[in-house]
Amino acid sequence: MTLLLENKRAFISGGTRGLGAALCEVFAREGADVAFNYHSRDDLAEVTKAKIEAHGRRTLAYKISVTDRVNLKRMTREIVEAWGGIDILINNAAINKPDNFATTTDKSWDTVIDTNVNGLFAVTKPIYKQMIRQRAGKILNITSIGAIRSLPTSVHYATSKAAVIGFTKCLSREASNFSVTVNAIAAGIFDTDLADTLPDRLLEMHDFWNSTKRRGKPSELAEFAAFMCSDRNSYMNGEIVIVDGGAVT
């Protein structure tokens, strides 16, 4: 059977931890060459590279912040020169801080917004321009149910993830002129380091309002993401798909 992403070329931001690491491995298993960036952990980057290569796929790793616009442009040029193009972009990298709004510092607010919103722009812009030249591409953004529902998560995080929804919907209309689709997954609580930054009271209540009675596994989101980025998903654009284990609203 043909693999979902056979011979596709993907870039995944934040590819060494949690959802990003799972996305890298599943996409490689489904036939894609996978490039990714990461912030600091060289050892985790080597682990991710090894998992990609174990599936017989090519990989490139870049130690570049998602807010470093200059080096992200250089990175995009290098990937295109090496592989001839980029077919898939996954905007996964994000941070959260366990802050109450009343005590949120200016620095904390700016750090979350800069990474989760300005980083979204910085990563997407050069890759999107390449997709325009190709007249083809799929962009998938990872947002959060915290942007949709009134949950006890940090206000700056929810605000940044709500921005991802607006970004997805608006860009999808423009991008359709160039045969590029833009969709998003609104993720529930998955078993990741990012989830561990959530308030204890939210994690304790999770089993009560989630019908599956557990956190999601990163691989479960990655499996669905692979389909969303495949050619088999040819008629979805500008959509925000909730993957949260059946939370009660």
Catalytic residues, by residue number, are: 157
Nearest to 80 by CA among 136, 130, 5, 31: 130
What's the distance, CA 30 to chain centroid? 17
Distance separating alpha carbons of residues 187 and 219, to the nearest angstrom:
12
Show the 3-state SS of the chain: CCCCCCCCEEEECCCCCHHHHHHHHHHHHCCCEEEEEECCCHHHHHHHHHHHHHCCCCEEEEECCCCCHHHHHHHHHHHHHHHCCCCEEEECCCCCCCCCHHHCCHHHHHHHHHHHHHHHHHHHHHHHHHHHHHCCEEEEEEEEHHHCCCCCCCHHHHHHHHHHHHHHHHHHHHHHHHCEEEEEEEECCECCCCHHHCCHHHHHHHHHHECCCCCECHHHHHHHHHHHCCCCCCCCCCCEEEECCCECC
Cα gap 25→65, rounded to integer Å: 21
Structure token pair of residue 246: 């059946």
